[in-house]
Chains A and B, each alone.
Chain A
Amino acid sequence: IFEYNGSAVVAMVGKNCFAIASDRRLGVQLQTVATDFQRVFEIHPKLYIGLSGLASDAQTLYQRLVFKHKLYQLREERDMKPETFASLVSAMLYEKRFGPYFCQPIIAGLGQDDVPFICTMDCIGAKELAKDFVVSGTASESLYGACESMYKPNMEPDELFETISQALLSSVDRDCLSGWGGYVLVVTPTEVTERVLKGRMD
């Protein structure tokens, strides 16, 4: 069921910045239905979540999370920290332990003092913090290999963009359920850059 729509999401940490990227294909098993599907969503300007897996659950989960975050903003009069948000997502997923959301989220944000934070979790909320990169989706094994080879610590935003784009495009080219280009977001303390990549359109 994780392979119903097809997806690939990856996030990497650089020097005082992070990048999160996803593919753009939405399919129904072997049929491609959309080539501009958004999987990476903004929660607030320094916090992003990428949701791979079943597209319907990804959208529902995103809507519920935005709702909870807006309430948090009203009550606390500030944005949620990434670590807190990760715990929130984890708790929400575990609530549905015996009837889960078929999603694997990747959370990326700039925390206290703009220190980059990334983490991923499985569909029932087991958090996995990483210092270098996290991957999820149908192309995850390919992504692991590509990121492991291409990643190095403390990359500047431009180099990080190149690295994450190359890793994403090479990995989705080996996975039939993901592809149709890429969408990369590079976030630094001062600016957010969104870029759309053109890869193999299949």
Chain B
Amino acid sequence: MARRGGDWVYENNGGTCVAIAGADYCVVAADTRLSVGYNILTRDHSKICELAEKCVIASSGFQGDIKALQKNLSAKELLYQHQHNKRMSCPAMAQLLSNTLYYKRFFPYYAFNVLGGLDSEGKGCVYSYDAVGSYERTGYSAQGTGSTLIMPVLDNQLKSPSPLLVPARDAVTPLSESEAVDLVKDVFASATERDIYTGDKVEIVVINKAGTRREYIELRKD
């Protein structure tokens, strides 16, 4: 098992990841701080990995496991490309990630993931995971140390039905792309104030029909 006597093999490197799905875009954002305990190891570490053309994963948790997981997924995606002569779609990657995580059910990846991208119809999709692969397609999600601070604000602001409403309705938000990016900047600013593991910079990746663009916004460094 993961713990034997005193050997605790995991560590939480902190950080927060957020993703929001729109009608024809998807915003995935994560802060760039890497910490261990009360120390900061670096202010410039990306938690986001582009797995396929329209599919991006952001993970927070134990960076050792996250690096391994992202490498594993990239390799599987490459194999898929060779075998099927096309890149993996976002829903396919979502299932692959779930299976990869569950494969290590009894010695899990300490990784809290958020997968974002465009599905085969070009609509935004966000998939949210727990550490052992349970996943759900939602309109927005936050994972990591700042997730409890951010989720209520996203529930309140995104006019799309939250996963809490029954019956489940179409999950994408009617907000425009720039409004969604502004919302992400605001929530990260708030989370930075109150969560010690979140801060330094936020890397925002926006995926839409035209392609993928990246921007960096400065956050409080304390």
Q: A residues engaging B (CB < 8 A)? A: 141-146, 148-150, 166-167, 169-171, 173-174, 200
Contact = CB atoms under 8 A, between A and B. Distances in A.
A149 B186 contact: yes
Contacts of A146: 149, 152-153, 156
A174 B155 contact: yes
B149 A145 contact: yes
Interface string B134-167: 0000000000001011111101100000101000
B153 A200 contact: no
Interface string B190-206: 11011000000000000
Contacts of A167: 152
Contact of B164 (A145, A166, A200): A200
B190 A149 contact: yes
Across the A-B interface, give the 9 residue pairs with the lowest CB-CB distance, nearest first. Answer: A145-B149, A148-B190, A170-B152, A141-B148, A170-B156, A149-B190, A144-B194, A146-B152, A142-B152
Interface residues on B, range: 10 to 19
B69 interface: no
Most chain B CB neighbours (cut-off 10 Å) among A146, A149, A167, A173: A149
B187 interface: yes
Contacts of A173: 152, 155, 162, 164
Interface in B110-124: none
Interface of B: 146, 148-153, 155-156, 162, 164, 186-187, 190-191, 193-194
A50 B70 CA distance: 47
A145 B16 CA distance: 13
Contacts of B164: 173, 200
B149 A144 contact: yes
Contacts of B148: 141-142, 145, 174
Given A148-B190, A149-B190, A141 B149 contact: yes
Nearest to B164: A173
A145 B191 contact: yes
Contacts of A170: 152-153, 155-156
B190 A142 contact: no
A151 to B, nearest CB: 9
Given A173-B164, A174-B151, A145 B146 contact: yes
A132 B217 CA distance: 25
**Residue with the highest number of chain B CB atoms closer than 10 Å, among A142, A148, A174:** A148
A141 B197 CA distance: 14
A171 B154 CA distance: 10
A167 B153 CA distance: 8
B221 to A, nearest CB: 17
The residue among B146, B153, B164, B193 with the most chain A CB atoms within 10 A of its own CB is: B153
B190 to A, nearest CB: 4
Nearest to B186: A149
B156 A166 contact: yes
Contacts of A144: 149, 194
A141 B152 CA distance: 10
A145 B150 contact: yes
Contacts of A142: 148-149, 151-152
Nearest to A143: B152
Contacts of B156: 146, 150, 166, 169-170
Contacts of B151: 142, 145, 174
A130 B190 CA distance: 16
Given A145-B146, A145-B148, A146-B153, 15 more contacts: A142-B149, A143-B152, A144-B194, A145-B191, A148-B149, A148-B190, A149-B187, A150-B156, A166-B156, A169-B156, A170-B152, A171-B152, A173-B155, A173-B162, A173-B164
B155 A145 contact: no
B164 to A, nearest CB: 6
24 contacts: A142-B148, A142-B151, A143-B152, A145-B150, A145-B151, A145-B187, A145-B191, A146-B153, A148-B191, A149-B153, A149-B187, A149-B190, A150-B153, A150-B156, A167-B152, A170-B152, A170-B153, A170-B155, A170-B156, A173-B152, A173-B164, A174-B148, A174-B151, A174-B152
